Amino acid sequence: MSESSGMTAVTEVSRRLAPAWLLLLAISNPSSAQSDANGPRTWLEEMSQAMQSLNYDGTFVYLHDGKLETMRVIHRADQDGERERLIALTGVPREVLRDDNSVTCILPDQKTVMVDKSLPRKPFPASLPRNLAALQSNYEFRMAGDDRITGRDAKIIEIYPRDKYRYGYRLWIEKAYKILLKFDLIDPHGKALEQTMFTQLDLPARISDKALEAGISGEGYTWHGDVRRASSDATPADRTNWQLGWLPRGFMLTHHNRHQMPVRRGSAEHMVYSDGLATVSVYFEKLLPGKEILQGVSNMGTVNAMGGVVDGFHATVVGEVPAVTVEEIGKGISLRR
């Protein structure tokens, strides 16, 4: 078989399997695809759209700190909105249920149920159309070839951080339906820090209510949080006496409010800063006798947190950013006098 007829065969397969616009991608130059309709931005937007609007039921693995956890996710999107259920298949059968009103975390090992208000999800990346230039000063977007995951063809998109204060991402996006098949959190050198990958995936036309209900009753568990109260309590805040002396380049305040914390007593002043991809929360809570507080830098996989006491308040900086970032932000916190 000659080289040219091989090419034709590939094109034929593409024509049958993929939407017409994919052909356009094949002839566009990937390296100059930054603002291109078929560049990384389009892929990311379509992926985000797909993850919110499709029904899917799949098993995936989560690899972190040398450990491998297996989970199942069931996601339904219809006229009633989005519903999602996440179940641990290995170890303790923890579950998270999410709909348009609330997030419920069932933790059998702690005999605890945490309920919090859910927030509407903007199509990702919400900041891209507005702040593409700003985002590109902190990240480099690359098309990184093709791959196959769980029998499905995928496009690889890489997002490299330009400094040490944020992580990068490597995404495998399914070509036909734009489902995110694999997701790596990477360091500035491209080394994977944490990986999530579907090992089996179905896109059923219908998903029953039952499949989205918790497998654990939560009876006899301690319940924390009240959605109605939480939502009425989340009051926007426009004034604060706290000041942050340092933030990584490109981070801007995206939310600022006061609300109840799941499990914890008392309310918190909560500020959210984002560079469009990475997000850091800063919580200020009044110190109360007997209340558990975090002191120093701590982590949960690639999520880092820093806790400390300033002027009778406990401040917590938390986010999916490197330890140095929460540490530097924490060091810069002070009370305006």
Q: Are 271 and 240 in contact (CB under 8 A)?
A: yes
Stretch that binds other proteins, among 6-14, 25-33, 63-71, 150-158 (CB under 8 A): 63-71
12 binds other proteins (CB under 8 A): no
Provide, rounded to whole angstroms, the least separation between the CB of residue 33 and other proteins: 19
Sheet order of strands, 313-319 included: 235-236, 252-260, 267-274, 279-286, 313-319, 303-310
Q: Which is nearer to other proteins, 204 or 245 (CB)?
A: 245
Amino acid at 32: S
Minimum CB distance to other proteins smaller for 134 or for 263: 263
Q: Is residue 87 within 8 Å of residue 93, measured between CB atoms?
A: yes
Is residue 175 a contact residue for other proteins (CB under 8 A)?
Answer: no
Write down the least CB distance from residue 165 to other proteins, Å: 14
Smallest distance, other proteins to C-beta of residue 8, A: 36
Q: With beta carbons less than 8 A apart as the criterion, state whether 204 and 55 touch.
A: yes
Residue among 86, 82, 115, 121 at smallest CA distance from 99 = 82
CB of 55 to other proteins, least distance (A): 15
Q: Does 170 bind other proteins (CB under 8 A)?
A: no
Residue 18 makes contact with other proteins by CB under 8 A: no
Question: Would you say 67 or 228 has its CB closer to other proteins?
Answer: 67
**Which of 34, 45, 64, 193 is close enough to bind other proteins by CB under 8 A?**
64
Give whichever of 9 and 300 is closer to other proteins, judged by the CB atom: 300
In this complex, which beta carbon is closest to other proteins, that of residue 10 or of residue 288? 288
Site residues (CB under 8 A) for other proteins, limited to 285-324: 287-301, 303, 305-312, 314, 316, 318-320
When binding is defined by CB under 8 A, the residue of 33, 74, 87, 326 that contacts other proteins is 87
- Residues 6+ positions from 51 with CB-CB distance below 8 Å: 75, 179, 180
Residue 249 makes contact with other proteins by CB under 8 A:
no
> Is there a contact between 331 and 297 (Cβ–Cβ < 8 Å)?
no
Q: Is 23 in the site for other proteins (CB under 8 A)?
A: no
Nearest to 324 by CA among 296, 308, 304: 304
How remote is the C-alpha of 21 from its chain's centroid?
A: 28
Kindly state whether residue 150 participates in binding other proteins, applying the rule CB under 8 A. Answer: no
Minimum distance from CB of 113 to other proteins (Å)? 11
Whole-angstrom CA distances from 96 to 65, 198, 227, 260 are: 22, 18, 15, 19
Q: Peptide bond before 125: cis, by omega within 30 degrees of 0?
A: yes
191 binds other proteins (CB under 8 A): no
End-to-end Cα distance, the chain: 79
Contacts to other proteins from residues 26-55, by CB under 8 A: none
How many Cα neighbours within 13 Å face the side chain of 236? Answer: 4
Residues 66-85 that bind other proteins (CB under 8 A): 67, 69, 71, 73, 84
303 phi, psi to nearest 5 deg: -85, 125
Q: Closer to other proteins at the Cβ: 28 or 124? A: 124
